[in-house]
Structure 1
Amino acid sequence: MPTAVAVASDGQFFVSDGYCNARVLKYNPQGHVVRVYPQQHEHLSLAIPHGVTLLEHHDLLCIADRENRRVTCVSAELRSPGQYSRSINIQPPGLGRVFAIASVGDLVFAVNGPTTPQIPVQGFTISPFSEAVVDTWSPTSVRFHNPHGIAINKNGTELYVVETSPNRIWKFDTSQWVDMNQMAYVPLEPE
């Protein structure tokens, strides 16, 4: 049962098949499966891959591996098919069950969902290359309850989070978080 899709500029696309098969499928532009993540020889185990995003300029596919409570990134093999490299794992304490991810520039934005009472439901700004969460964020007026989807516009200025129960869409202005020239995280200075 598909949970998310990410489309490359050349028409190849990736589908997270999370609920029954614990895999991600890569399709060519004609809609034929050309790759399955993970393959038997790869040291990659997925437990409900619930979201996918591409950092196409780095040939990197990042996966919201919900029940393993992590974001894992692997080679998208857009430029070099068959050249699988090690995975990058972002799994700090407190990340919780990652429901959705989106990316712009060198950053991945993620939202978790209810995990345990000790882990707040919130958003995360992730740098896959430093394998770290560089910031957390959430609404200021009320808290997230059940984030289930995330999207960001192409220039990185608007981030949207979709929740179920209650059904609502949040819009965040990322201009305070992201350097629009480099699409890299900029820590906020305390006032």
Structure 2
Amino acid sequence: MATDAKDRVYVAHRGPKPVLVFDRDGTFLRPWGDDHIRTAHGLRVDPAGNVWLTDIGSHLVMKFDPAGKLLLSLGRKGKAGDKPDEFDQPTDVAVTPAGDFYVTDGYGNSRVLKFDRTGKLIRQWGTEGQGEGEFDLPHAICLDAKGRVYVGDRENNRVQVFDADGKFLAQWRESGAPYGLFLAGDRLFVADGRAGWIRVLGPDGKLLGRWGEPGAAAGRGPMPHMLCVDSHGDVYVAAVTGKRIQKFVAVKK
């Protein structure tokens, strides 16, 4: 899930009309996506308002306009692979202000790929493992204002930080199992799907706080999978178990 500049909420799910659009109060606006999306996984909205979606069923990364018109598709539909023009269940996308973008190719491969705005491969890095620059299911990715790349290395229970060219900078172990990542200013919000918490990390990777516990009651998060923060500072959390979106309103002190 993700919000756009007007705080409209885009939700990807694995049913008919796989992209659902709501206003910030939860009023349903429109659906789209049946013609192109088989098994939705990651969804992001870029600085220009385009909607990016990874499809683990078709092994595709797709870019749409806000109304659902397909603008770009990368990968070979229905074919898993590890070549530069192939993916194996890609998980997430992060887009730079210039339009270049990164893809975590996570379930079948253990790598990050960087493309220019036209979809031409610039570079890739990562192999399966536990060392620096190695991954065990790179599941989420986001960028900070300096162009640094944050990768949720889910099964290694860490966030790895790289420069824009893939040079390893740091690893943060206080993330728990990072199913979802979202940067808001200098705070990294982490959906720890294994513990059922939302963790907030500071610019040094240290834990600032957390909330949520496993369970079905309001405010609890059974397997939070992704999250985002809107322009008001409100946090939206998508939970796989329970099949719901929860909104947490920022409290001003």
Question: Contact 2:96–2:147 at 8 Å: present in 1 too?
Answer: no
Could you tell me which of 165, 175, 181 is aligned with 1:101?
181
1:80-159 equivalent positions in 2, closer than 5 A: 85-92=167-174, 95-114=175-194, 120-127=195-202, 129-138=203-212, 141-153=218-230, 155=231, 157-159=233-235
- SS of 2:155's equivalent? helix
Residue 85 of structure 1: CA displacement? 4.1
Aligned equivalent of 2:245, options 145, 169, 172:
169
- Rate the CA distance shift 1:165–1:15 in 2: closer, same or farther, 3 A: same
Taking only the aligned residue pairs, the percentage that are identical comes to 27
Q: Does 1:69 align with 2:157?
A: yes
| TM-score, with structure 1 as normaliser | 0.75
- Classify the secondary structure of the residue corresponding to 2:220: coil
Whether the 8 Å contact between 1:2 and 1:19 is mirrored in structure 2 is yes
For the residues of structure 1 that align with 2:207 and 2:170, how far apart are their CA atoms?
13
**What residue identity is the alignment partner of 2:126?**
P
Q: 2 CA distance for matches of 1:142 and 1:107?
A: 21
| CA distances 1:1-58 after superposition (whole Å, capped 9, x unpaired) | 111111111000111110011111111001011111237xx94111101000110x22
User: Can you give the 5+ residue segments of structure 2 that lack an aligned partner in the other structure?
Assistant: 1-88
Partner of 1:160: 236
With the length of structure 2 as denominator, give the TM-score of the two structures: 0.58
Q: Report the equivalent of 2:109.
A: 21
In structure 1, what residue type is equivalent to 2:189?
F
Q: How many residues align?
A: 160
Larger radius of gyration: 2
Mapped contact 1:111–1:124 kept (Cα < 8 A): yes
AA at the equivalent of 1:161: V
Shift of 1:156: 5.4
Q: Cα RMSD between the aligned structures?
A: 2.3
Unmatched 5+ stretches in structure 1: 78-83, 115-119, 177-187
Pick the structure with more helix per residue: 1
The whole-number CA distance in structure 2 between the counterparts of 1:89 and 1:60 is: 13
Alignment partner of 1:67: what SS? helix
Q: Distance in 2 between matches of 1:126 and 1:71?
A: 10
